[in-house]
């Protein structure tokens, strides 16, 4: 019996997230004391994502469109010039930022943002630029990919970036833009994971092109894809925000349909039921899900030595959950392992070069936090 479909109340506490259902998620271990110490490094105006430069500086994107370069040792911040105009109302933002695989020689960065389109419409865009960290400036800014611009709604841009392990392709997430049905439509990029060449063009050999799909599509049936990362064995993991509950962690495989909006472990916001993922329904079910929701904001893969007990894990941030969650990986199996109440909405997580875990809080005066082993 699925209590979610019967409208019963699921319990939430600071230490545990659990909900009874026929296919209930694993219980999260109670957080009886976090095994890390938290250091505040800086504050930002609605930060969104971060990236580490080889010299130790950090790039931080902010919702309204500013790209900030910070020295975490001194706390000195500089606003990087040359960023494009961002449509930042509602869920729009200057979103993800990543160094190009050849950054050491090219000084190229990739970043995503929401931009205005015709009339009241908008879309997600992926761009490259040359970064001069000394001058805190971008040059040669080029938009290399634009998503479908049919939506006048202000959310579900997604826009997360991951490079393939061999550094020859770029995986990019394009949300359903709150339109739902296009996630199942072949001819659009909405509600899809995309596989692109490094210049933004569709990669050759994408699995669904011969079936009439947009040539960039790698997988489909997604909602709002807010995290994507490869593990040490080259598996691609994706995190997306569900509707009313049903947040998901998916193992992304070429050509598969992940069900949205035809299947979900959540319901529509108006209370209308959505069929659960069931064996044999033709949709790839999530490896982990949350009922009730934590409203995940960010994801990163961890495999460093600073926290050896957490190697081969995914870290997930919670917005409404005000949380940090660890998902243990074992091949294609993912299991909820730890849940920590962080006392604030957490937008982003990244594993730093030294193995520390870095977090960005959401909202005005959102803090950049560094997590290191407890003394």
Beta bridge partners of 267: 244
Give the tens place of pLDDT for each residue, 28-46.
333 447 899 999 999 999 9
8 Å CB contact between 240 and 224: yes
- For residue 182, report the phi and psi dihedrals to the nearest 5 degrees: -60, -20
Residue 312 pLDDT > 80: yes
pTM of the model: 0.92
Distance CA(215)–CA(81), nearest Å, equals 34
Distance CA(114)–CA(53), nearest Å, equals 24
Distance CA(10)–CA(202), nearest Å, equals 43
Residue 112 is predicted with a pLDDT of 98
Residue 24 is predicted with a pLDDT of 36
How many other C-beta atoms are found inside a 10 Å radius of the C-beta of residue 166? 8
Q: CA-based Rg of the chain, rounded to a whole angstrom?
A: 20
Distance CA(369)–CA(347), nearest Å, equals 11
Poorest-confidence range of 7-16, 120-129, 318-327, 345-354?
7-16
Q: In the predicted model, what is the mean pLDDT of the chain? A: 92
* Collapsed DSSP state (helix, strand, coil) of residue 214: coil
Residue 20 is predicted with a pLDDT of 29
Give the tens place of pLDDT for each residue, 170-191.
999 999 999 999 999 999 999 9
Distance CA(276)–CA(290), nearest Å, equals 13
Architecture (CATH level 2) of domain 36-373: 6 Propeller (2.120)
Residue 13 pLDDT > 90: no
Strand positions, DSSP E, 107-190? 108-116, 122-132, 137-146, 158-163, 169-174
Mean pLDDT of 155-164: 98
How many other C-beta atoms are found inside a 10 Å radius of the C-beta of residue 164? 16
8 Å CB contact between 343 and 34: no
Residue 294 is predicted with a pLDDT of 97
Distance CA(121)–CA(274), nearest Å, equals 28
Residue 2 is predicted with a pLDDT of 41
Mean pLDDT of 297-308: 98
Q: 142 vs 67, 109, 128, 284, CA distance in Å?
A: 16, 11, 5, 35
Q: How many CA atoms lie within 13 A of 38 on its CB side?
A: 15
Mean pLDDT of 195-201: 98
- For residue 52, report the phi and psi dihedrals to the nearest 5 degrees: -95, 135
Tokens of residue 71, six digits: 């020295």
Q: Which helix (H) or strand (E) holds 355?
A: none
Distance CA(151)–CA(262), nearest Å, equals 20
Distance CA(323)–CA(338), nearest Å, equals 10
Give the tens place of pLDDT for each residue, 43-88.
999 999 999 999 999 999 999 999 999 999 999 999 999 999 999 9
Task: Give catalytic residues, as residue numbers.
Answer: 156
Q: How many helices (H) and strands (E) does the chain have?
A: 1, 24
Domain spans in the chain, listed from the N-terminal domain onward: 36-373
């Amino acid at each position: 019996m699925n209590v979610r479909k019967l409208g019963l109340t699921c319990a939430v506490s600071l230490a545990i997230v659990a909900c009874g259902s026929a296919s209930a998620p694993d219980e999260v271990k109670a957080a009886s004391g976090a095994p890390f110490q938290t250091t505040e490094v800086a504050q930002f105006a609605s930060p969104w994502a971060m990236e580490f430069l080889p010299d130790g500086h950090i790039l931080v994107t902010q919702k309204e469109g500013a790209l900030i370069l910070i020295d975490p040792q001194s706390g000195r911040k500089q606003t990087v010039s040359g960023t494009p105009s961002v449509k930042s109302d509602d869920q729009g933002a200057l979103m993800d930022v990543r160094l190009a695989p050849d950054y050491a020689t090219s000084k190229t960065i990739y970043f995503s943002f929401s931009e205005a389109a015709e009339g009241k419409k908008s879309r997600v865009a992926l761009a490259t630029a040359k970064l001069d960290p000394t001058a805190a400036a971008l040059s040669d800014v080029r938009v290399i990919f634009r998503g479908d611009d049919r939506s006048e709604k202000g959310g579900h841009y997604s826009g997360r970036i991951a490079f393939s392990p061999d550094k020859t392709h770029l995986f990019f997430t394009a949300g359903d833009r709150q339109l739902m049905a296009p996630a199942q439509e072949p001819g659009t990029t909405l509600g899809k994971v995309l596989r692109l060449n490094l210049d933004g063009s569709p990669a050759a050999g994408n699995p669904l092109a011969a079936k009439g799909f947009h040539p960039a599509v790698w997988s489909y049936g997604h909602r709002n894809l807010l995290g994507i990362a490869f593990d040490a064995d080259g598996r691609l993991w994706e995190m997306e925000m569900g509707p009313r509950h049903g947040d998901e962690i998916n193992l992304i495989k070429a050509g598969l349909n992940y069900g949205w909006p035809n299947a979900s472990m959540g319901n529509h916001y108006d209370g209308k039921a959505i069929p659960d993922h069931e064996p044999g329904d033709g949709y790839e079910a999530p490896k982990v899900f949350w009922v009730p929701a934590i409203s995940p904001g960010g994801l990163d893969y961890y495999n460093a030595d600073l926290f050896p007990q957490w190697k081969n894990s995914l870290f997930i941030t919670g917005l409404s959950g005000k949380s940090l969650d660890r998902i243990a990986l074992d091949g294609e199996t993912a299991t909820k392992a730890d849940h920590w109440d962080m006392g604030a909405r957490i937008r982003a997580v990244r594993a730093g070069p030294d193995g520390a875990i870095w977090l960005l809080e959401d909202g005005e005066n959102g803090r950049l936090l560094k997590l290191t082993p407890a003394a």
